[in-house]
C-alpha cells in the first residue's frame, strides 16, 4: 500500500477566509508571550493570532476525499504549526479529531521539515517547510493541475 501525506491549511482546512478577515479587521493583538503585535507593520505574523486555528471549516470535498483515500492509501496528515502560536498545535489536533475521527489523531504529524517524511505522495498547497523537497510526488493543491479535491482525488485513485 502506498503512503500519502495530506497538508491541513489550504488542503483539508479552509483557513483563508479567517486569515483575510483578521487581516482586514484586526490591527493589533497580544501574542502568547504577552507582546503586542501590530499587523499593519508585520502582516506575516498573522499566524501568531490566538485561536486562529480554532473552529475552521473543512475544504470542499476534503472529508470525503480523506475517507476515500484512507481505503486505498496509508494516509497521514502532515502539517506545520507556527512555533509562535502554541495553541495552534492543540487546535490542529482537535480539528482532526472533530472532522476526521479519533483514529486520525494518531496519524497527525506536525513538522517544519516535510521533506524528512518518506512516502509516495504529498498533497500540499505550498512548497514551504520542506514540501518542495519532498522525495515522492508533490501534488500542488490549488494549482493548475490539482485545483480542487475532485481533480486531486481522481488522480490519486488512478495511481493507487
**What residues are labeled active site?**
7, 9
Dist. CA 156–CA 142, nearest whole Å: 15
Give Cα separations from 5 to 39, 68, 113 (angstroms). Answer: 32, 14, 13
Residue 104 contacts residue 116 (beta carbons within 8 Å): no
Residue 121 contacts residue 4 (beta carbons within 8 Å): yes
Amino acid at each position: 500500500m502506498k503512503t500519502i501525506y495530506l497538508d491541513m491549511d489550504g488542503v483539508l482546512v479552509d483557513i483563508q477566509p479567517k486569515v483575510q478577515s483578521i487581516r482586514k479587521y484586526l490591527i493589533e493583538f497580544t501574542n502568547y508571550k504577552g507582546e503586542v503585535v501590530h499587523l499593519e507593520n508585520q502582516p506575516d505574523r498573522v499566524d501568531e493570532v490566538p485561536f486562529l486555528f480554532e473552529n475552521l471549516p473543512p475544504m470542499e470535498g476534503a472529508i470525503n476525499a480523506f475517507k476515500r483515500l484512507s481505503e486505498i492509501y496509508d494516509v497521514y496528515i502532515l502539517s506545520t504549526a507556527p512555533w509562535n502560536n502554541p495553541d495552534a498545535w492543540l487546535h490542529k489536533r482537535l480539528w482532526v479529531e472533530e472532522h476526521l475521527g479519533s483514529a486520525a489523531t494518531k496519524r497527525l504529524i506536525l513538522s517544519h521539515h516535510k521533506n524528512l517524511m518518506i512516502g509516495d505522495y504529498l498533497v500540499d498547497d505550498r512548497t514551504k517547510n520542506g514540501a518542495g523537497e519532498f522525495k515522492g510526488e508533490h501534488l500542488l493543491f490549488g494549482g493548475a493541475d490539482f485545483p480542487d479535491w475532485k481533480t486531486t482525488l481522481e488522480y490519486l485513485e488512478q495511481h493507487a
